[in-house]
Amino acid sequence: MNRDAADQVVQSTGVLAMAYYPEIHADDADYSIGDDVDFVLSDAGELEPADIAALRDLVARTIIDPTNHREALIEYVFGLVPDGGENS
């Protein structure tokens, strides 16, 4: 994953987390957290299956409860960037 893709994953997750609320399923019968996760990861680039599975879980958890999961998501995402994205 490159730095731009990592930034996009984190930013898109944040936007969706701000729009999420527990009753969304009652207000929008078509809502699917899986669709949100697919959207976030659509431009993440080529990843190993284990990384995709971990990211799907972390993105979903962060959308639902950003306070408790954003740090883990950010660490994992930028851990996938060569050199942690520090020189990009």
* Residues 2-15 pLDDT 10s: 999 999 999 999 99
What is the per-residue pLDDT for 64?
98
Residues 6+ apart with CB under 8 A from 4: 88
Global pTM reads 0.91
What is the per-residue pLDDT for 83?
82
Counting as low any pLDDT under 70, the low residues of the chain are 84-88
What is the per-residue pLDDT for 88?
47
